[in-house]
Amino acid sequence: MQDDRHDGGFWNWNVDGVQLTDAAADETSYPSGAYVETPADEARDRRTFQVADHGVAPSPVPPAVPVSRTSRAARGRHVARHARVDDRFTMRDFFIWCGIPMIIVLLLRIFFFGFYEIPSRSMMDTIVPGDRVIAAKYAPKISGIKRGDIVVFKDPNNWLSAEQSNAIGGGFLIKRAIGLPGDVVACAGAGEPITINGVAINESSYIRPGVDPSAFPFSVTVSENHLFVLGDNRANSSDSRYHTDDGDSGLVPISDVVAVGLLTYWPLSRISVLDSHHEVFDKVPDFSSSGS
């Protein structure tokens, strides 16, 4: 059956092309198997036309594009080629993983930390021969030097000619700072304690057991911008006491101090922080208030 619109109505036609009235159309029989449009079909078509009139067109699913074996093989080669490139260790990778860490370590080594191997016995038992020490190069300039600090310094006045075995490489020595500028450091002799600005200090926490603070008497006033230094092994340390006639009264210029000891890092059995024992000097007055 075919529908056609005319003046707002429908004309019905049978399969032989004869126009029928609506009533006749309802009573007309059709050959078996012929398609007959029902009122539901008509309503569905009307809705479809209305949707299309409003600009919303059905969106059919596009047919799948067949992929040839050749394109699959080419894509496989493309992926494999990129995989080989990604797995390659390039110079850029080397710089990121090796170069940058090396530069950081080098900068730290040059500007912040020094590494020293100790060959002598002058700082026993705090530091023993074979110990390797990390020292802070920034400490003397940033935090300053305090009494008790273990300092690494340049050979001030040919001390190494009398104590060659105490060199720690590059003409450096390592001792403990005892007197600061203006301090009067003294000892009455064997069996007597060291005094600073008239106050006796108890050094048993760091000097080698069984060793006197000094086997002979001395008295030194520390000049401006200088330090008075002693080894912890007083019986085997050529320190400020032994160089009072070197033109600087055995004192070390602060400008010659290159670092302050932080810790022993080798051998592993000797890893430890280098204690400055600042508490030993807590009761020592400044030289300005000592009356000297």
Catalytic residue check, 137:
no
Confidence (pTM) = 0.65
33 with 113, same domain: the answer is no
- As a whole-number percent, the residues of the chain with pLDDT over 70 amount to 64
Specify whether 23 is located in the same domain as 116: no
Same domain, 266 and 196: yes
Amino acid at 120: S
- If asked whether residues 165 and 277 sit together in one domain, one would say yes
- Per residue in 111-139, pLDDT tens? 899 999 998 899 999 999 999 999 999 99
Q: What is the CA radius of gyration of the chain?
A: 49
What is the predicted pLDDT for the residue at 20? 46
Any bridge partners for residue 230, and if so which?
Answer: 176
For residue 92, give every residue at least 6 positions away whose Cβ sits within 8 Å of its Cβ, in sequence order, or none.
none
Does 140 share its domain with 16? no
Which of 5, 45, 12, 7 has the alpha carbon at shortest distance from 26?
12
Residues 123 and 21 in one domain: no
Active-site residue among 137, 175, 238, 240? 175
User: Could you tell me the residue range of the domain that residue 201 belongs to?
Assistant: 109-289
Distance between CA atoms of residues 11 and 3, nearest Å: 6
Catalytic site residue from 29, 32, 59, 122:
122
59 carries an active-site annotation: no
Per-residue pLDDT, 11: 46
Domain presence at residue 150: yes
Question: For residue 88, is it within any domain?
Answer: no
Query: Is pLDDT of 57 > 60?
Result: no
Q: What is the mean pLDDT of residues 245-266?
A: 94
